[in-house]
Structure 1
Amino acid sequence: MADEFEKMGENLRAKTGKGLDEWVATARAAGIAGHMALVSYLKSEHGLGHGYANMIVHAANASAAVSQDGDDLVTAAFDGTKAHWRPLYDRLVGLVQGFGGDVEFAPKKGYVSLRRKKQFALLQPSTKDRFDIGLALKGVEPAGRLEPAGSWNAMVSHRVRIAADEEAGDDVADWLRAAYDRAG
């Protein structure tokens, strides 16, 4: 795959006179947020084919993600008015690490994804007043604080909202464990 990507980059330069890095800069300068919107822009405004435009957008997104490492993303998520959520996050990370050594923590902008063979949870300081825990518990009936995720996040089936004056509690630990077990 890397060889194909490299070959496409060479062909892009031969066809357009601009290298991939130059096209990435052009794509970023457009200020268009959505993947397909940016692909469409590159096709219509610069005459690129779909394959080249898609490759440029993927390269632009990948290099932007690589520029922020996981620690920086976690620090940013718990900055300012959400800083008081960091101790809860740290406790939940410690709890989940106790389930087994196979948990991957994948920080994203605004939340942290927890994966085993597949994603089983996410931890998100949503507002200064609420911390959300998303859980992959498809088929489990909502109960107590465990509610359907709805449109909140398509990667999980349920969510638990924790208010600033609440503790996570044993129920949250049990739901995290159940989601972890299902992802193995």
Structure 2
Amino acid sequence: MAKTSGELEREFIHGLGSSTGKDLEGWISSLNESGLEKRNDLIKWLKEKHGFGHMYASLLAGIYFNGGKPVYASEKDLLDNQFEGNTHMRTLYEELKQAIMNWDPATEFIIKKTYVSVCRKREFAAINIRKGEIRLGMDLGEMPFEQGIEKARLTGPMTRISHMVVIRDNSGIDGKIFRLLETTRNRTHP
């Protein structure tokens, strides 16, 4: 299984001093002194002036804009943030998660910053929480869009998540969803 964002961030912070000569506190201080205020400007500065790769520059900029605290320290906090302003959707999310676990107990749910990754060895679906709805995105390849199966409009997951089903209440958690999930799981896990 791939490392979670939290694991990558922890490893990055732990190795920062030995790989760069500055610990996290030192880098936060340097970022403050840079005078740069935009995330992309900081990433560019870290890459060009300090030799950071894109992923590590992005991680450090994310921590900086999170008040110097790790962004991915707590999966619970990440998930809570996704429900901010949409707390009424939590019950529906839990029902969907449980239904998917009942359908395939080997499924894992990995909380990301802006979405929930649904995977086995690889991600085969993604969940976005929106106002009044849950968007379940799936990799359905060239399957035509039709009533109830839309072009994916999710925040965060890879572009291979091509289709989505919008769920507004528990009546939307039906056999159709599990047939689609089986299709996407089989596409990503041949």
Both structures adopt the same fold (TM-score exceeding 0.5): yes
Asked if the contact 1:148–1:157 (Cα under 8 Å) also holds between the matched residues in 2, the reply is yes
Pairing 1:143–2:149 present = no
With over 3 angstroms needed to count, the CA separation of the structure-2 counterparts of 1:61 and 1:103, relative to structure 1, is farther
Corresponding residue of 2:39? 33
Runs of 4+ in 1 over 6 A off after TM superposition: none
Asked if the contact 2:118–2:126 (Cα under 8 Å) also holds between the matched residues in 1, the reply is yes
Corresponding residue of 2:78? 73
Q: Counterparts of 1:55 and 1:122 in 2: how far apart (Å)?
A: 24
User: Cα deviation per residue 1:58-93 (whole Å; 9 max; x = unaligned)?
Assistant: 3454762332x122222232243x122122211211
Corresponding residue of 2:8? none
Q: Counterparts of 1:74 and 1:151 in 2: how far apart (Å)?
A: 16
User: Cα deviation per residue 1:33-61 (whole Å; 9 max; x = unaligned)?
Assistant: 23xx32323366xxx23237864543454
Amino acid of the structure 2 residue aligned with 1:119: E
Corresponding residue of 1:161? 166
- Structure 2 residues not aligned, in runs of 5+: 1-10, 64-68
Amino acid of the structure 2 residue aligned with 1:98: N
Helix, strand or coil at the partner of 1:64 = coil
Q: Counterparts of 1:53 and 1:170 in 2: how far apart (Å)?
A: 42
Q: Counterparts of 2:124 and 2:186 in 1: how far apart (Å)?
A: 9
Q: Under a length normalisation based on structure 1, what TM-score does the superposition of the two structures give?
A: 0.70
Task: Give the drift of 1:116.
Answer: 1.4
Corresponding residue of 1:50? 51
Amino acid of the structure 1 residue aligned with 2:146: A
Corresponding residue of 2:5? none
Task: Give the drift of 1:105.
Answer: 0.9
Percent of paired sites with the same residue = 23
Tell me how many residue pairs correspond in the alignment. 168
User: Cα deviation per residue 1:133-158 (whole Å; 9 max; x = unaligned)?
Assistant: 11111122223211222686524110
Q: Under a length normalisation based on structure 2, what TM-score does the superposition of the two structures give?
A: 0.68
Q: Counterparts of 1:60 and 1:117 in 2: how far apart (Å)?
A: 29
Corresponding residue of 1:109? 113
With over 3 angstroms needed to count, the CA separation of the structure-2 counterparts of 1:155 and 1:83, relative to structure 1, is farther
Helix, strand or coil at the partner of 1:51 = coil
- Structure 1 residues not aligned, in runs of 5+: none
Task: Give the drift of 1:165.
Answer: 9.4
With over 3 angstroms needed to count, the CA separation of the structure-2 counterparts of 1:25 and 1:113, relative to structure 1, is farther
